[in-house]
Amino acid sequence: MTVAKAGWLILAVIALTGCETRTLDDPNDVKTAGVLAPDVIRRQLKGTSDMLMERVGRGEITDAQFKELIAQRANELLKDLPIEKIDPARAWEYGDVFRTANRWEQAKRALEIAVANAEKTKNEDRRVNDILRLAHAEAMLGQIPPALKTARRAFDAAPEASAPVLPSVLLEIVPAARGKGHDEELAQLLEDAIGKHMATVVDPKSVPGAAFLAARPHHVRNAWRTIVELYAKSGDDEKARRAIERSEKMLRSIRRL
C-alpha cells in the first residue's frame, strides 16, 4: 500500500466516524470514577482537609468550622452514591467518608457491608476496626443498645489485634452514646475496653508499637476518669468510688512498668 493510499484510508475513517474527538475521562473526576474509586474520593477529601488545616493554623477558621466545611465537602463527593453497588472489599473506605460527612445512616449501611466482608475473608484487622466504627455510627444514630452490643463483638480480638478497642470506645462510642440513658453500661464497656488495652500485645521496637506504649497511660487514665464521671452522673456514688479505687491500683501498676 502506498503512502498516499494509506493517508486516504485514514481520512476516510475519520469522515465515517465524525470529526469530533472524544474527551478522555479524568481519573480524578468523582463523577466518572463512580463507585469504583473510593481512593479518588478520599484523596480529594484529604486535599480539602490539608487546605482547611492550614486555615485553622493561621487562625482564619475555628475547629468547629473545619468540621463543618470538611463534612460539606464530603457530602459533595458522595452525592447520589448507590451503596448497593459498592465493592464490599472497599466498603470500609466509603464508610469512613460517610462518617466524615455526618451521614450516619449510610455510614452504618456501608460498615455493615464492610464487617460482613471482613468476616467472610477472615481479615481480622478490618473486622475489629469496622465493627468499632459500625458501633460508633449506631451510637450517633441514637441506637445505644445495638451500639453496645456491636462494640462488644470486637472484644474477642486476639491480644495482637486489640489495639483499636480502647481508643474507639473512649474517643468515639462513649461520647456519642453518653447521656442517653445507658451511662452505667457505657462505664462497664469502657472498663472492659481498658482490660483489652492492658492485654494488647505490640512490638515495642516498631514505630506503631512504641507509639501505643507511649500513649497507653494517657488513654487508660482518661478512660478511668470517664468511667468515674459516668457512674457519678448516673447517681451511683458507690460505683464511682469503687472505680476510683480500681483506677488508682491500675495506674500505680502502669507506673511501675
pLDDT for position 116? 98
* Tens digit of each residue's pLDDT (9 = 90 or more) over 28-72: 444 434 444 777 888 888 888 899 999 999 999 999 999 899 888
Name the least confident of 38-52, 127-141, 158-172, 179-193. 38-52
pLDDT for position 255? 72
Domain extents for the chain? 32-122, 157-257
- What amino acid occupies position 4? A
CA–CA separation, 185 and 242 (whole Å):
16
Give the pLDDT mean for 148-161. 97
* Tens digit of each residue's pLDDT (9 = 90 or more) over 14-25: 233 333 333 333
**Predicted confidence band at 122 (pLDDT cuts at 50, 70, 90)?**
very high
